[in-house]
């Protein structure tokens, strides 16, 4: 089956196959990974080519000495006239950095369906370092384009891709049925925005039963709950079901992790929050307990949710509250 590709001005990767998340310890990064770390002006993207212990951390957990290859937004050589705008090469550099995973915000980008092995990604990055022939993009983030190119052979920006996807989805749906996940999934696939595997996996997930919470025993740690938030259905991961000290009969006291709305779309952030919910059935738990769903244990689900707290990669349709919740809960593997 072919994906529709009516306007081929730019090629979009399947954005559900590309997931950035926060790194909390050394064990989460590998050589060949695409990494994002905060720079003075913008985020830097790089390919890790070597990881070594940092002497300051004898346990080799919180810190690491990391060798990176990345593109800078500096142009190589001398240019004049039109070549200033249309030509030029981005300078590729190799640098050594010391990462402290506790104090710095370091993100890793996970790719499902990546065409190259880690060793090939490193070889591609080293090849570009040697050639110094990477096309400079005046308006693009060259370091991000370089990293995605090394991993996938395509140059793209996740943020720009998500914006384009959101725009296409709004145009396709004409502002109706925005909360109909099944229809959104269908449209995203028909418009070539997500791959067939993500489409089929999502459809399978929508078949799961949503059970209304009517008593405290209906909700457990690690569950995906759905409730109304700013008039939209919103998903969250339950981190803790608190003991009821006050003696509320009709309420349940939960701590959960979710994509919180903080004023503007660019300020959607994954936050931890504590709130009491009524036991009137307005909140539901999605029942992913039986096959064909492969789920993490409740502890693993909670740990995965906590790992992404403070992340700001929200995009309608591509990485919203339900995608976050599903990512925490499911072993999303394309081979299953």
Half-sphere exposure of 2 (CA within 13 A, CB side): 3
Q: Does 319 bind Zn ion (CB under 5 A)?
A: no
Least spacing, CB of residue 199 vs Zn ion, in Å: 8
Least spacing, CB of residue 158 vs Zn ion, in Å: 14
Least spacing, CB of residue 319 vs Zn ion, in Å: 12
Q: Which residue has the tokens 């990485």?
A: 319
Q: Name which of 260, 263, 284 is nearest 274 in CA terms.
A: 260
Provide the 3-class DSSP secondary structure of residue 290.
Answer: coil
The DSSP output letter for 315 is B
Q: Which is nearer to Zn ion, 17 or 238 (CB)?
A: 17
Q: Which is nearer to Zn ion, 129 or 194 (CB)?
A: 194
Q: Which residue has the tokens 């991961």?
A: 237
Least spacing, CB of residue 132 vs Zn ion, in Å: 33
Give the count of beta carbons closer than 10 Å to the beta carbon of residue 100. 13
Least spacing, CB of residue 333 vs Zn ion, in Å: 12
Q: Which is nearer to Zn ion, 16 or 320 (CB)?
A: 16
Number of residues that bind Zn ion (CB under 5 A): 5
**222 close to 305: Cβ distance less than 8 angstroms:** no
Q: Exposed, middle or buried: residue 53 (CB in 10 Å: 0-12, 13-18, 19+)?
A: middle
Q: Does 16 bind Zn ion (CB under 5 A)?
A: yes
Q: Does 111 bind Zn ion (CB under 5 A)?
A: no
Q: Name which of 171, 155, 152 is nearest 163 in CA terms.
A: 171
Q: Does 318 bind Zn ion (CB under 5 A)?
A: no
Q: Which is nearer to Zn ion, 226 or 319 (CB)?
A: 319
Least spacing, CB of residue 16 vs Zn ion, in Å: 5
Can you tell me which of 12, 13, 17, 236 binds Zn ion, judged by CB under 5 A?
Answer: 17
Contacting residues for 78 by C-beta, under 8 A, at least 6 apart: none
Provide the 3-class DSSP secondary structure of residue 187.
Answer: helix
Residue list 182-211, contact with Zn ion (CB under 5 A): 195, 198
Q: Which is nearer to Zn ion, 14 or 236 (CB)?
A: 14
Q: Which is nearer to Zn ion, 19 or 252 (CB)?
A: 19
**68 close to 97: Cβ distance less than 8 angstroms:** yes
Q: Does 14 bind Zn ion (CB under 5 A)?
A: yes
Residue ranges binding Zn ion (CB under 5 A) = 14, 16-17, 195, 198
């Amino acid at each position: 089956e072919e994906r529709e590709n009516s306007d081929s001005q730019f090629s979009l990767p399947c954005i559900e196959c590309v997931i950035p998340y926060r790194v909390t310890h050394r064990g989460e990064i590998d050589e060949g990974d695409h990494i994002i770390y905060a720079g003075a002006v913008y985020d830097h993207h790089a390919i890790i080519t070597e990881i070594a212990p940092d002497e300051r951390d004898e346990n080799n957990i919180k810190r690491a000495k990391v060798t990176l290859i990345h593109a800078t937004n500096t142009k190589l050589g001398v240019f004049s006239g039109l070549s200033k705008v249309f030509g030029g090469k981005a300078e590729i550099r190799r640098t050594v950095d010391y990462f402290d995973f506790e104090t710095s915000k370091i993100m890793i980008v996970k790719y499902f369906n990546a065409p190259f092995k880690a060793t090939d990604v490193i070889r591609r990055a080293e090849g570009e370092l040697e050639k110094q022939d990477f096309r400079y993009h005046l308006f693009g983030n060259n370091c991000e384009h370089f990293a995605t190119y090394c991993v996938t052979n395509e140059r793209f920006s996740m943020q720009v891709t998500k914006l384009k996807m959101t725009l296409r989805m709004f145009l396709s749906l004409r502002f109706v049925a925005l909360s109909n996940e099944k229809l959104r999934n269908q449209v995203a696939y028909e418009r070539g925005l997500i791959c067939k595997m993500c489409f089929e996996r999502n459809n399978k997930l929508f078949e799961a039963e949503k059970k209304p919470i009517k008593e405290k025993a209906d909700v457990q740690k690690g569950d995906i709950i759905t409730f109304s938030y700013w008039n939209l259905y919103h998903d969250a991961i339950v981190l803790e079901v608190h003991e009821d000290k006050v003696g509320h009969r009709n309420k349940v006291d939960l701590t959960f992790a979710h994509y919180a709305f903080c004023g503007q779309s660019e300020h959607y952030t994954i936050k931890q929050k504590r709130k009491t919910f009524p036991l009137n059935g307005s909140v539901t738990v999605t029942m992913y307990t039986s096959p064909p769903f492969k789920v993490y244990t409740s502890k693993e689900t909670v740990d995965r949710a906590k790992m992404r707290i403070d992340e700001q990669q929200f995009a309608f349709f591509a990485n919203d509250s339900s995608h976050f919740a599903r990512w925490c809960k499911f072993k999303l593997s394309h081979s299953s």
